Amino acid sequence: MQDAIVSALEHWPRDGIPEVPAAWLLTVAKRKGLDHLRRATRYREKLALLEEEASRTAVEPTDVRAGAMATTDTDDRLELIFTCCHPALSREAQVALTLRSVLGLTTPEIAHAFLVPEATLAQRIVRAKRKIVDAGISFRAPEPAELPQRLHEVLTVLYLVFNEGYLASGPDRASRRDLAEDAEWLTSLVARLLPNEPEVLGLLALMRLHAARADARFDERGRLVLLKYQDRSRWERRRIEAGVDLIERAGAMKRPGPYQLQAAIAAVHSEAPTWKATDWPQILRLYDGLLGMTGSAVVRLNRAIALRQVAGPEHALREVDAIAEELDRYHLLHATRAELLRDLGRPNEARDADRRALELTDNPAERALLEERIAR
C-alpha cells in the first residue's frame, strides 16, 4: 500500500485523479505485492547459492562503482536502508524509520526491539519524518565515502530484523524464518560491499551461527526448545563452520567490536558437544569484554546467565536484581530471574516472576513454555 501511494503521488498530479481512487490504489497495491512475492522467491534462491558458496570460500570483495552502491548481487532495499540512515537524523530515529518504512516491521515489533512503549516509538517515527520534511533532506544513495559513517545504523537495522525473524514478538507465530534469512542475505551483501569492515563479518557470522540451530529450536508440536535441551545432532555443521571462518577473518583485522564478540559467544556454544561441556569461563570473559564495549543492560542480563554456570545462582541473581528496574518491561529478565529463584529453592517467587514474563510476551512458543513452568 505504501508503494501504491507513492505511485499515486507520482501519477495523479500528471494524469489526474482516477474516478475511483480506492480501486486504483487497490489494483496497484496488489500488483506491487505480487512483485514483492516474486522478489522474495528470488532472494531465497540467492540465499541458497550464497550459503553453498560460503561453505567453500570466504566472502569475496567486490568493487564499488563511483557514485553508487554496487555488488555482484544487489538489492534495492539495501540501498534504501543506507539512504534512510541519514546523518541528519538521530541514530534511534534512523533505525526506527528504516525498520518501519523500508523493511515493513510494525510499530509494536519495533517497540519490542527497543524495549520502549509503542506510543514512544510511534512519536519517534513521526518526529523523524517531520524533520525530513522541515529540513528538506534529500534522500539519495550515499556516495562510497559516506557508507562507513552510516554502517553502524545499517548493521543495527539488520540485527533487529534478524532477531524479529529468529523469535517473533507478535502472537501469530513463534518465528519468521523468512525474515531472518532475508536479514542474513542483506548482511552478506554489505559484506561484499565493505569487505574490510570486521563488524560486518561479525554480524554475518552471528546470524549464520544462530541460523545453524534453527531446526532444533522447536519440537514437533511447535514448542520452544531451550539451548540446554536441543538435539545438537540437528545443528547445521556447514553453517557453523562458515560462521567460525568469518569470525577468524574478522579477528585477523584486529578491530574487535560487539558483533564479533557476540559471534564468538555463539561459536563457543556451537562447538560445545553438550551443555555441560560448554566452556562457561570463556563465555563469561567474552561477556565481560562485550559489557565493557556496550554498557548494555541486556548484555549484563546475558552475562548473568553465564555467571550462574561459573559462580552459582546466588551471584547471578544479585546481578539480575541490579538491572531489574531498568529491564522491567523485558520478559527475558523475569524469565531468567524465575530460573535463578527456582535454583535457590524459592518456587513461589519464581512463579510470580514467570507470570510477569508471561504478561510481557506475545510469542506463542514462549507463552506455552512459561505457562507450562507456572503450572508445574
Tell me 308's DSSP state.
Answer: H
Per-residue pLDDT, 25: 92
Per-residue pLDDT, 93: 79
Per-residue pLDDT, 73: 47
Beta bridge partners of 218: 224
Query: Which cell goes with 262?
Result: 557476540
- Burial class (CB within 10 angstroms; exposed 0-12, middle 13-18, buried 19+) of 290: buried
- Cβ count within 10 A of residue 277: 9
Per-residue pLDDT, 66: 33
Distance in angstroms (rounded) separating the CA atoms of residues 177 and 185: 12
Distance in angstroms (rounded) separating the CA atoms of residues 11 and 15: 6
pTM for this structure? Answer: 0.73
Cβ atoms of residues 270 and 283 within 8 Å: no
Query: Which cell goes with 330?
Result: 523485558
Per-residue pLDDT, 70: 46
Per-residue pLDDT, 235: 96
Mean pLDDT per 10-residue section of the chain, whose length is 376 residues:
86 86 88 75 60 48 41 61 77 77 78 80 82 72 75 88 80 78 89 92 97 91 90 95 96 96 97 95 97 96 97 97 96 97 96 96 91 92
The CA-based angle 131-136-142, given to 5 degrees, is 95
The CA-based angle 281-283-289, given to 5 degrees, is 105
